[in-house]
Amino acid sequence: MNRMFLSMALGLGLGAAYSLPAYSQAKPETLVKQRQAAMTLQGKYFGPMNAMAQGKIPYDAGVVTRNAGYLDALSRMPWDGFAPSTKGEKSAALPAVFTDAGKFKEAQDRFQAEVTKLASVAKGGDEASVKAQISTVNKQCAACHEDFREKR
């Protein structure tokens, strides 16, 4: 069970029947580094889109389509890094990540769903709809940070 949990937690999809793969033994500090890397890149690619939606920089459909595609991949990457083994690591994660894992998972799922929708809407190209969906994604970022990340 522990083996399986580790595999699942790392998203490797390797069943318990296999021998424990080296990659399911990722150190807690590595998991934290990887999940923070995913968040850093979400910021890199979401930031400009959010600035466009807020009218701070000119709208660029090509950039939005590209960034939304990247974000669609990135939106799936941080979550296996919040393994229970990382509980004691220094990070901005609030205890609720571990004590309210169900609610955290729901927030992840909502975020991913809205990002996937953004990637799809971005391909359509209607600027107003795209901007509205960027704002929706932004609200999901904020809601999850509110509940699960230390205020800075």
DSSP state of 78: S
Interface with a second copy: number of residues (CB under 8 A):
32
The CA-based angle 123-62-41, given to 5 degrees, is 95
Rounded-to-integer distance, Cα 7 and Cα 9, Å:
5
| 118 contributes a contact to a second copy by CB under 8 A | no
Helix (H, G, I), strand (E, B) or coil at 55: coil
Rounded-to-integer distance, Cα 53 and Cα 58, Å:
9
> Which tokens sit at 103?
């609610």
| 36 contributes a contact to a second copy by CB under 8 A | yes
Among 47, 84, 124, 125, binds a second copy (CB under 8 A): 47
Comparison of 43 and 99: residue with beta carbon closer to a second copy: 43
Among 1, 2, 55, 56, binds a second copy (CB under 8 A): 56
Residue 144 near residue 100 (C-beta atoms within 8 A): no
Site for a second copy in 75-114 (CB under 8 A): 76-77
Binding residues for a second copy (CB under 8 A): 12-14, 18-19, 21-23, 33-34, 36-38, 40-41, 44, 47-48, 51, 56-58, 60, 62-63, 66, 69-70, 73-74, 76-77
